[in-house]
Structure 1
Amino acid sequence: MRRPSKTTRRTAATGAAALALALGATACGGTTGPASGGELSGQTVTVAGVWTGSEQKNFKKVLDAFTEKTGAKTVFVPSGDNVSTFVGSKIEGGNAPDVVMVPQVGVLRQFAKEGWLQPLSEQASNTAGATLAPVWRNYGTVDGTYYGLYFKAAHKSTVWYAPETFTQAGVTEPKSYTDLLKAGRTLADSGRPAFAIAGEDGWTLTDWFENIYLSQAGPEKYDQLAQHQLKWTDASVVKALTTLGELFKDKQLVAGGAQTALSTDFPSSVEQVFGPEPKAGMVYEGDFVGGVAKDQFGKQPGKDAKFFPFPAVEGGKAPVVSGGDAAVVLKQGKNSKAGMKLLEFLAGHDAAEVWAGAGGFLSPNIQVEMAAYGDSVTRSTAESLIGAGDSIRFDMSDQAPAAFGGTKGAGEWKVLQDFLRDPSDPQGTAAKLEAEAAKAYGN
């Protein structure tokens, strides 16, 4: 995702050694051995993705189900945040994975234009036609060819909180962005800073910006900015950065201040709210926060870990930003035929229901039974996602070229990290964003 989905996500070691180790030891993958007599018995499918921790563990359960169905062994290889660089290096080295879970639309488009991707098989395409809303199929299509099957979705307009901190401070769920900051300052006055911010992972900062921008500027300008038809120096961008800067510069609101935030990754930000030694009352990120809080800290979503929708900004509509991870098959993989069989499996509802039961997961698949989700909070979030249909706005940075919206230490991620460190010049930050975007988009 992302994130991580940027859907959730994004801290993992990369490198040739990791891939070689994974290819040489089935224990590193999602299965312990093939089912006897399956159609793919004796074959191995290598899958690369950004997922770590509980997300990786739960995706391996899906791969186990594929093994049970087909007999194929599977190996999961963590790609790290920069999927584009990882995959390019593996192709160049002749050691490409068969399937990649791509967390950014821009990266999927890049892979397609490089000629690296196989179009979806007729079976996968037909199944997706019956199970996914058109918006998800469109995001997986490049120049009229369907390459990317969206398997995991993220609802990225949720603010998670520890309910006991709200109770102690006498705070209720805010309905506007102004009330959100007011509630945060009340929390700080009661002894706990408002927000844990994962500034070390630049994708989380893009999510903050996108929710503010979508609510403040509206969907039309959001779409224009996402395609770089509107420059980042536009007054609407400066206004959104100014709004975001009010949060970043307030030491009551950012747990530990900017310096601490810049050394905090996403899992650690969740720990700061739901871990054994909490340091903040809230953490903004996607629905996948609930899965991390449950798997790593034993919190029950809806009881010990609650969320409210990202509130409307300055009279705008409450934003609904989504993200997702698309499965693609590389032409350069050693077993791309079996890889496509995996995508055919992922296109159905059975695969999604495996992860839905494990938690920390939303599926864009309309055939997934809501009862498959393990708690009422996730069920309601899933219903919201499915009910939104084609009105969802996809994560903006995930739509951008990887050089701008998907590269650690570069592009939008780096500029917004610098802005977190010093939010005093929104206009100058907008100019830096435009310069980076112009390079990445080639205009």
Structure 2
Amino acid sequence: MRRKRMLKRVLSFFLAALMLCSVVPASIFAYWSDEEKPATIIGSDGQTIAVTDDWEETFPYGTFAFAQSQTVVEEGGGETVIKLYRLGGTKGKAVAYVTYMPAAAEMEDGVMSYANAAGAGDIVIRVEDPLPIVRYQALGKAPDPEVGSAALAVEPYTGEGALDGDLRVTLDAAADAYQWYLWDGAEWNAVKGATDAEFILSAEEYEAYDLRCVYTDGGVSYCTASVKGTAYVKAEPEALEEMPEDLELNPEISYTAVEMDAEKPYQGYVFNVTFAEDEWVKEIRVSAPDDDVAEPVKGGYFTIIGCDGGSLYDSANTLALLVNDDEKPEDSQLGFAVTEILADKAEGKAVLTVVRTGGTQNVVTVEYATKDGTAAAGEDYLAVSGSLAFYADVTEQKIEIPLMNDGIVSADAVDFTVTLSNVRGDGDA
């Protein structure tokens, strides 16, 4: 079957370590969670995803997902608990890599606004610590493939749907199963869905990436050298320390705060969440200290970006955070910067400035419209109407009114008015 170019990078990593078995009685893990594994999770799109029994077989080393797609923190309240699941199998230890990014917005002028971004000083993030036994456990992953004897061949592709310059990469030996990997200049990544005996790519893609194949023959996996000649070297087995007899197997659950930089309050952060073997749920706790300042609703996003051991369930890897302020919003007032301006029709337009005073923590909108005076719409100016949105921390907006230049010089000025109405939000005009 022809496969279109499948260069979408997946966040599953080709790891150079051999999983070793760590034999520990299952009974010692019973304390890790008193709750049952969930029957459903909420995907990043808000839809419910069923967690079925076949996930154990599909994901023998687990797949990482958030329990829900959004959560709310109240300023000055307690901690909000975000649950990160390792669903399916839980063989070996595994590490999920999570980012937190404050929610920034690009304004019309291209300037980034952080008025609604929950950054350093707004929230505190604490991550559940790994269990002590983790350092003595092997990574939960399939064994690394053996060095294969099959070679890759490249030839022009002229099959159905071929484009000029397309190439076809194949093995010179038959196999039972195939998985193609791309080298992006930093690491090898499995190409999602690339499980055919051939891989089709353009000449440009061939120049940009290297390619190799992990193939299965007789139940054993092998890896080829890359199409550009880089040899595959099987990694040495993972070296594990011997577990001491007096290791605490049932410690108190503890948390470590993510260090946030007050001088760069809106930068992103990456942290690890480490699961021991048979452990399937960990917590990220978020709180919002009270600062006695009236602020807008703020937010950010947690994203599981990758993992060592297990796999990423990319339909449930993002969680939105909202932070509600506990201070009463200040009232806003909207009005024109000046009550009258004089404009020459030869200038082509009149520009009016609407200003917001008082509180600026919430979104306020106001409608505007022109109204004839001694000037007539369609003769002296073009009638306009619309609405202005004052987002958090925005204090000024402009209204432009086209003027019609008839080329006739007149000593008598004509006039029209612009009115504001229907203020919506937390303030009054």
Q: Is the radius of gyration larger for structure 1 or structure 2?
A: 2
Q: Same fold (TM over 0.5)?
A: no
Name the structure with the higher strand share: 2
**TM-score for the superposition, normalised by structure 2:** 0.19
Name the structure with the higher helix share: 1
**TM-score for the superposition, normalised by structure 1:** 0.19
